Amino acid sequence: GCATDVPIRNSISRRASRRSLNPRAGGRFRLHQRGIRSEMRLFVSEGAPGSLPVLAAAGRAQGRAELVISTVGPEECVVPFLTRPKVPVLQLDSGNYLFTTSAICRYFFLLSGWEQDDLTNQWLEWEATELQPALSAALYYLVVQGKKGEDVLGPVRRALTHLNHSLSHRNCPFLAGETESLADIVLWGTLYPLLQDPAYLPEELGALHNWFQTLSCQEPCQRAAEMVLKQQGVVALRPYLQKQPQPGSLEGKAVSNEPEEEELATLSEEEIAMAVAAWEKGLGSLPPLRPQQNPVLPVAGERNVLITSALPYVNNVPHLGNIIGCVLSADVFARYSRLRQWNTLYLCGTDEYGTATETKAMEEGLTPQQICDKYHTIHANIYRWFNISFDIFGRTTTPQQTKITQDIFQRLLTRGFVLQDSVEQLRCERCARFLADRFVEGVCPFCNYEEARGDQCDKCGKLINAIELKNPQCKICRSCPVVKSSQHLFLDLPKLEKRVEEWLEKTLPGSDWTPNARFITRSWLRDGLKARCITRDLKWGTPVPLEGFEDKVFYVWFDATIGYLSITANYTDQWEKWWKNPEQVNLYQFMAKDNVPFHGIVFPSSVLGAEDNYTLVSHLIATEYLNYEDGKFSKSRGLGVFGDMAQDTGIPADIWRFYLLYIRPEGQDSAFSWTDMMLKNNSELLNNLGNFINRAGMFVSKFFGGYVPEMVLTSDDQRLLAHVTLELQHYHQLLEKVRIRDALRSILTISRHGNQYIQVNEPWKRIKGGEADRQRAGTVTGLAVNIAALLSVMLQPYMPTVSATIQAQLQLPLPACSILLTDFLCTLPAGHQIGTISPLFQKLENDQIESLRQRFGGGQLEEPLKLKAKATPKPVVETITPAGPQQIQMLNDEVTKQGNIVRELKAQKADKNQVAAEVAKLLDLKKQLALAEGKPLETPKGKKK
């Protein structure tokens, strides 16, 4: 035969689609003698299904190398070293061959700069080992043997279900993330010949359906499909598949008509039997409830869990980011810990000393103590509203704080870990006082950020010595401070460094420190510790018990972390049982990542140096930052939702908790978005979780008079039991590792299983049928309502009020409300009477959310450009609600106006910062306009700081 070479440059698919592959082809490959940079030769065969993904992926390599496509016969051996014929094959410029579909597609993607990742590898491995064999069998039955229906679908059903499950479970439109990538193309190509026939794309696999349609509509895929199937459908594959050995015979196995029948279950018989056995034991397997103790003290031989959340600074009202980073995260873990019957103490309190309090007091004409009292109450009320389950919410301005701080200091002093030195300090002559670090602003000596604070730079995160700031300014009066000398005390961290290192070496392996906490701690040690000043020229603080230092107090970062100890001491005089008991106590400390150095290095150094057998942190749990919409929370700019305002929104605390935990910045920064909150409430809570629990309860009420019916479990039900058990165990694994956000997904997955189960079994129809149908309706209802009961307990750490409401509606027996085992038990046995069922969640409406966004996002326009460095908005969710024409007109006008302002400023050659600020406003307006019009966002050019 003669060769058909289709050279393609730049627009691979367009050319190729005009010249479809020649069916006569099948000859030798003719070398091109052209002077081009590099050339790849792709060998395909008429009707070979492997061409689909390869041709769809080929577009990725556009412009990087010339691709020549040659058509060969189905029995032709292209690769010299392979005994059996194989297509598609890609011959590279080097002469080497890639002879698997995945490898070829991967290569095209790699050429385009794509980087390999675990998830993609996993999908491709699954494709090669699971999907491909199943699909070859199905295609063989369909195309070569002319079978139909279940004979074809049978072999692939399990793989399709797995794929559908993954897509819906991860809540992601694509297999390996937000955009279409290698895994999608390869799997799409493998599945296309079968799924393009709607008969083989089962309706109930909704997520798979959507994914498949999305990909099939994309141009490269469409063209590949056209080239391979030529609009003839699957029969186009017959010439090729006929020549192939029967699938399965390669493995030396006999081919049967139901090749994978036994493998349909992903669970082993053993797993199912264990789940059923546990279920049947029911309430009987619950241990007795722990008696409530007061005070809670560690018990030898038990798991004693001490939980702290970072002490909020008293004179700031916490915003949502503060709440999720510390108290709310710790609360979920504390509640979980109690559900496990671990001996748990959860404490927090306000951090009250320091200059900021003194200044606030001056401003408001109160004493520092009065300021602290006032704001402590504000904090306490906010956390109460959020249902934070502190055992103690204390404060740092107590005699215990003085006693313990001074004791630790004395011990450090006598052991030679305190140095004395004179310090050059900034003093504002106009305000007549030494300036605390936070009252100086200037240019960061490390990164030149212009608004660095005197103690730390917000941009690069490095700690700063205030006098090293360039162009320092007094934050109060804006005059330039002068440098004056004063005597101060220092903690000799270099001398303690070795002990801290040894302790960390012992503690970190196998612990649940978050990666960012490990990283920050390690980088501090790597850079070497430096002596740190622990005193300040202030009055509002813990007095320094040393001659010559009567006018000074301890610097807050030295004594704030001691607050945990003193707060416990105010709770019980046996506080040392918690804090001087490292063998028996597991200490979990929750904070945002900026607090890691103080908890991971400085405080451990202090107490290691004090040599008094203190309890040190076992698990340091640090979150990343939560942004507001697309910027930072900012009190001064009136931007974002603050703790005291959340309750005025009319949205219940549990909904706030749910959404904040759902977007918990676990592993990476995340952003609060009003639209997303509405979507999550309406989809996950209302349509998924609430819908399931409500239906389960309503069926019991309506069909069975409020009594849980008899359950006669079929093997399907048993499999569901095992699935739920697996997901429950996953939930436990995650929460034991404090992966709070991920564990929440398990709850939603179980309720999705439940919804599907009800949907498939249709108890509302069966209840009207014969005896067998009625019994089936009973079993399904009984199992569903028990899943609802399980969910109420799993939900307890996240949404305590909703959890209690469900438990009251179901009349769940008391011990089952407060204990969560690793097995799924039947806690609502047949005959159990439930209470009145009512809906759990309310829909959030567009108008409501829009008005809230306006109310809390008011300062958005004023936001300077530089604050946006960290913003990672997800614009997709915002395009869902296009605005009305009026609003668009208004924004249009504003864009025009702002555009004029910017042009004028530029014409006047105005100050750079001023121009930048106005440009930022303009960009913001343009973005709002684009969103309002439902247009995709343009990426702003340059200015990436």
Partner 1 sequence: MAAAAELALLERSLGLRGGRKYSSQGERQIPVLQTNSGPSLTGLATIAAHLVKQANKEHLLGSTAEEKATVQQWLEYRVTRVDGHPSKEDMRILLKDLNSYLEDKVYLAGHNFTLADILLYYGLHRFMVDLSVQEKEQYLNVSRWFCHIQHYPGVRQHLARVVFVKSRLYAQPH
**Within 10 A of 455 (CB to CB), how many other CB atoms are there?**
15
Of the pair 83, 886, the CB lying nearest partner 1 is at: 83
Judged by CB under 8 A, which stretch of 11-19, 95-103, 207-215, 783-791 contacts partner 1? 95-103
Beta partners for residue 621, in sequence order: 590
Rounded Cα distance, 130 and 118, in Å:
17
Closest CA to 482 of 541, 446, 435, 447: 435
Of the pair 53, 394, the CB lying nearest partner 1 is at: 53
Rounded Cα distance, 196 and 158, in Å:
18
Number of H helices, E strands in the chain: 37, 21
Of the pair 60, 427, the CB lying nearest partner 1 is at: 60
Shortest Cβ 219–partner 1 spacing (Å): 24
Phi, psi angles (nearest 5°) of residue 97: -120, 140
Judged by CB under 8 A, which stretch of 97-105, 481-489, 581-589, 594-602 contacts partner 1? 97-105
Of the pair 287, 510, the CB lying nearest partner 1 is at: 510
Beta partners for residue 269, in sequence order: none
Query: What are the strands, taking DSSP E only, across 593-634?
Result: 619-623, 626-628
Closest CA to 689 of 805, 844, 795, 846: 795
Buried b (16+ CB within 10 A) or exposed e, 243-257: ebeebbeeeeeeeee
Asked if 84 is part of the footprint of partner 1 (rule: CB under 8 A), the reply reads: yes
Shortest Cβ 81–partner 1 spacing (Å): 4
Asked if 110 is part of the footprint of partner 1 (rule: CB under 8 A), the reply reads: yes
Q: DSSP per residue over 579-620, as a string? A: HT-TTTEEEEEEEEGGGHHIIIIIHHHHHHHHTS-----SEE
Asked if 733 is part of the footprint of partner 1 (rule: CB under 8 A), the reply reads: yes
Asked if 80 is part of the footprint of partner 1 (rule: CB under 8 A), the reply reads: yes
Of the pair 576, 669, the CB lying nearest partner 1 is at: 669
Closest CA to 437 of 480, 467, 478, 479: 467
| Residue 531 vs residues 136, 361, 489, 491, 606: alpha-carbon distances, Å | 68, 32, 10, 6, 12
Of the pair 98, 330, the CB lying nearest partner 1 is at: 98
Shortest Cβ 621–partner 1 spacing (Å): 13
Judged by CB under 8 A, which stretch of 115-123, 213-221, 337-345, 639-647 contacts partner 1? 115-123
Shortest Cβ 262–partner 1 spacing (Å): 8
Shortest Cβ 171–partner 1 spacing (Å): 13
Of the pair 121, 811, the CB lying nearest partner 1 is at: 121
Judged by CB under 8 A, which stretch of 21-29, 118-126, 316-324, 887-895 contacts partner 1? 118-126
Of the pair 451, 742, the CB lying nearest partner 1 is at: 742
Asked if 83 is part of the footprint of partner 1 (rule: CB under 8 A), the reply reads: yes
Shortest Cβ 100–partner 1 spacing (Å): 5
One of 10, 33, 94, 636 touching partner 1 (CB under 8 A): 94
Q: DSSP per residue over 902-942, as a string? A: HHHHHHTT--HHHHHHHHHHHHHHHHHHHHHHTPPPPPPPS
Question: Which residues, 855 to 874, sit near partner 1 by CB under 8 A?
Answer: none
Question: Which tokens sit at 116?
Answer: 């390999």
Rounded Cα distance, 237 and 193, in Å:
8
Closest CA to 180 of 120, 101, 104: 120
One of 2, 235, 250, 255 touching partner 1 (CB under 8 A): 250
Shortest Cβ 857–partner 1 spacing (Å): 33
Shortest Cβ 103–partner 1 spacing (Å): 4
Of the pair 38, 833, the CB lying nearest partner 1 is at: 38
Judged by CB under 8 A, which stretch of 109-117, 195-203, 719-727, 793-801 contacts partner 1? 109-117
Asked if 107 is part of the footprint of partner 1 (rule: CB under 8 A), the reply reads: yes
305 three-state secondary structure: strand
Closest CA to 683 of 930, 932, 880: 880
Of the pair 128, 861, the CB lying nearest partner 1 is at: 128
Asked if 35 is part of the footprint of partner 1 (rule: CB under 8 A), the reply reads: no
Judged by CB under 8 A, which stretch of 104-112, 366-374, 500-508, 760-768 contacts partner 1? 104-112
Asked if 124 is part of the footprint of partner 1 (rule: CB under 8 A), the reply reads: yes
Rounded Cα distance, 503 and 524, in Å:
15
Question: Which residues, 735 to 794, sit near partner 1 by CB under 8 A?
Answer: 737, 742
Judged by CB under 8 A, which stretch of 128-136, 184-192, 477-485, 714-722 contacts partner 1? 128-136
One of 27, 295, 638, 667 touching partner 1 (CB under 8 A): 667
Asked if 883 is part of the footprint of partner 1 (rule: CB under 8 A), the reply reads: no
Rounded Cα distance, 59 and 64, in Å:
10
Rounded Cα distance, 60 and 139, in Å:
28
One of 17, 121, 316, 647 touching partner 1 (CB under 8 A): 121
Closest CA to 331 of 276, 383, 294, 378: 383
Of the pair 191, 382, the CB lying nearest partner 1 is at: 191
Q: What one-letter code names the amino acid at 305?
A: V
Size of the site for partner 1 (CB under 8 A): 40
Asked if 96 is part of the footprint of partner 1 (rule: CB under 8 A), the reply reads: yes
One of 20, 27, 103, 775 touching partner 1 (CB under 8 A): 103
Of the pair 733, 818, the CB lying nearest partner 1 is at: 733
Judged by CB under 8 A, which stretch of 199-207, 250-258, 466-474, 834-842 contacts partner 1? 250-258
Q: What one-letter code names the amino acid at 429?
A: E
H or E segment to which residue 395 belongs: strand 392-395
Of the pair 40, 426, the CB lying nearest partner 1 is at: 40
Question: Which tokens sit at 290?
Answer: 């722990």
Of the pair 94, 292, the CB lying nearest partner 1 is at: 94
695 three-state secondary structure: helix
One of 198, 365, 509, 705 touching partner 1 (CB under 8 A): 509
Of the pair 99, 704, the CB lying nearest partner 1 is at: 99
Pair type for strands 89-91 and 532-533: unpaired
Of the pair 182, 917, the CB lying nearest partner 1 is at: 182
Gyration radius from the chain CA atoms: 33
One of 17, 62, 100, 842 touching partner 1 (CB under 8 A): 100
Rounded Cα distance, 272 and 880, in Å:
43
Rounded Cα distance, 9 and 336, in Å:
59
Shortest Cβ 158–partner 1 spacing (Å): 10
Per-position x/- string for 263-292, each x denoting binding to partner 1 as judged by CB under 8 A, each - no binding = x--x--------------------------
Cα dihedral sign, 444-447-451-457: negative
Rounded Cα distance, 486 and 468, in Å:
16
Rounded Cα distance, 238 and 227, in Å:
15
| Residue 650 vs residues 247, 647, 673, 842: alpha-carbon distances, Å | 61, 6, 17, 11
Rounded Cα distance, 206 and 759, in Å:
13
Cβ atoms of 104 and 88 closer than 8 Å? yes
Of the pair 333, 386, the CB lying nearest partner 1 is at: 333
Cβ atoms of 884 and 691 closer than 8 Å? no
Query: What are the strands, taking DSSP E only, across 189-253?
Result: none
Asked if 116 is part of the footprint of partner 1 (rule: CB under 8 A), the reply reads: yes
One of 5, 27, 128, 456 touching partner 1 (CB under 8 A): 128
One of 251, 527, 547, 583 touching partner 1 (CB under 8 A): 251
Q: Which parts of this chain interact with partner 1 (CB under 8 A)?
A: 80-84, 92, 94, 96, 98-100, 102-104, 106-107, 110-111, 116, 118, 121-122, 124-126, 128-129, 132, 250-252, 263, 266, 509-510, 515, 667, 733, 737, 742
